[in-house]
Amino acid sequence: MLLINCPFCSERSEIEFVYGGPVGSNRPEPSNVTDAEWIDHLTMVPNPIGPVEEKWFHARGCGEWFTIWRNTMTHEIVEHSDDQK
């Protein structure tokens, strides 16, 4: 089980959080993309190897968004940021 250190609540189990995706992967405006591009956005999640900056939402806790750097090979959280995204 992944333990995530919420900068507002301390270390908690991953079941309290909702994954928000990698930082920088903004949702496109549906009216500006084709149906195929929209389906790709919804279903094709990037999965790079190594450290990735990710957005997480503490749904069963403080209700805050924050970012962390997580190594996708080891799931080790290598850094976190208090900045809300």
Does the structure show a pLDDT above 80 at 80? Answer: no
> CA of 24: how far to CAs of 10, 41, 55, 61, in Å?
25, 13, 9, 24
- Per-residue model confidence as pLDDT tens digits over 3-36: 999 999 999 999 999 998 888 767 788 889 999 9
Where in the chain are the domains?
3-81
Indicate the pLDDT class of residue 81, thresholds 50, 70 and 90.
Answer: low
CA 61 to chain centre: 16
Topology of domain 3-81, CATH? Folate-binding fold (3.30.2270)
- Per-residue model confidence as pLDDT tens digits over 45-78: 777 889 999 999 999 999 999 999 999 899 899 8
Write down the pLDDT at residue 84.
Answer: 45
Q: The whole model's pTM is what?
A: 0.72
